[in-house]
């Protein structure tokens, strides 16, 4: 049976677009896209692809807990096998994260465990890093701290600004995230004993590294 996927967004949804474009229909189906902002452009991308959308505005709930409970009720009515955070800019409560333990993925714009939190590109530049990148991980209670699945390094080049670096990191995100989604949807990727496992074997401590993603998509399906 196809993996039922729900994607949560807050903004542009360029990662959502990559997920839509690269989902292997033999294994999965995006059954719903949820945004906490009514003006998120990603909602239009979903609608264009014929995917059902819903808006849950966090501002109308009295607390973070109340919002997350409402989301859980809404999401569970779609029986999701996999929840994908794609630029969903809300901190989730432990109750939410634990409810979806092992079926909740996030993408973060850094080579975790470096640069958790915000402004990752500028912080990597300020630190004089030679490389930066993006990471897909399972979500746990620790912010940006769950078991790593896969990451793509992106070289920092002379003259890079936060904006130029962010643009290149996003290009790699658009390859990385569909890969992780398809691994999960096809049953190859699972969280076992709090470790991300691919084909039953734990990936390394920083996850699988996909090199040269900007220029080379070969190997995506058989890494």
Q: Which of 91, 95, 88, 94 is nearest to 73 (CA)?
A: 95
84: Cβ–Cβ under 8 A, 6 or more apart, which residues? Answer: 5, 6, 7, 8, 19, 105, 177, 181
Q: Which of 87, 146, 153, 207 binds ligand GAR (CB under 6 A)?
A: 87
- Give min distance, CB of 200 to ligand GAR, in A: 28
Query: Which of positions 34-63 make contact with ligand GAR (CB under 6 A)?
Result: 42
Query: Which residue is it, tokens 């109750």?
Result: 95
φ, ψ of residue 60 in degrees (nearest 5): -90, 0
The residue among 170, 177, 180 whose CA lies nearest residue 203 is 180
CA–CA gap between residue 7 and residue 109 (Å, rounded): 18
Using rule CB under 6 A, residue 139 touches ligand GAR = no
Residue 108 known to be catalytic: yes
- What is the biggest distance separating any 2 CA atoms in the chain, rounded to whole angstroms? 49
Site for ligand GAR in 3-32 (CB under 6 A): 9, 11-15
Binding span for ligand GAR by CB under 6 A among 24-32, 66-74, 105-113, 185-193: 105-113
Give residue number: closest CB to ligand GAR: 87
Q: Which is nearer to ligand GAR, 172 or 208 (CB)?
A: 172
Residues at the binding site are 13-15, 64, 89-92, 106
Contact between 140 and ligand GAR per CB under 6 A: no
Number of residues that bind ligand GAR (CB under 6 A): 14
Q: Which is nearer to ligand GAR, 107 or 150 (CB)?
A: 107
Is 86 one of the binding residues for ligand GAR (CB under 6 A)?
Answer: yes
Q: 35: which DSSP letter? A: E
Q: Which is nearer to ligand GAR, 68 or 173 (CB)?
A: 173
Catalytic residue among 27, 99, 108, 132: 108
In whole angstroms, the minimum distance from the beta carbon of 127 to ligand GAR comes to 18
Burial of 21 (0-12, 13-18, 19+ CB in 10 A): exposed
CB atoms within 10 A of CB 29: 14
User: Residues in the site for ligand GAR, rule: CB under 6 A?
Assistant: 9, 11-15, 42, 86-87, 107-109, 170, 173
Active site residues: 108
């Amino acid at each position: 049976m196809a993996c039922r996927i729900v994607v949560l967004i807050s903004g542009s949804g360029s990662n959502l677009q990559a997920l839509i474009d690269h989902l292997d229909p033999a294994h999965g189906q995006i059954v719903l896209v949820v945004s906490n902002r009514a003006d998120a452009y990603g909602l239009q991308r979903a609608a264009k692809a014929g995917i059902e959308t819903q808006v849950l505005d966090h501002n109308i709930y009295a607390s973070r807990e109340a919002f997350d409970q409402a989301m859980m009720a809404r999401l569970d009515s779609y029986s999701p096998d996999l929840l994908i955070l794609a630029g969903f800019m809300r901190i989730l409560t432990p109750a939410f994260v634990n409810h979806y333990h092992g079926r909740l993925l996030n993408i973060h714009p850094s080579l975790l465990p470096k640069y958790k939190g915000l402004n990752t590109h500028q912080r990597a530049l300020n630190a004089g890093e030679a490389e930066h990148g993006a990471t897909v991980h399972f979500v746990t209670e620790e912010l940006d701290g769950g078991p790593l699945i896969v990451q793509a390094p992106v070289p920092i080049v002379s003259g890079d600004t936060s904006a130029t670096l962010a643009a290149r990191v996003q290009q790699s995100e658009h390859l990385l995230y569909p890969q992780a989604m398809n691994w999960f949807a096809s049953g190859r990727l699972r969280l076992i004993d709090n470790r991300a496992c691919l084909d039953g074997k734990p990936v390394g401590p920083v996850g699988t590294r996909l090199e040269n993603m900007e220029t080379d998509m070969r190997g995506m399906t058989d890494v």
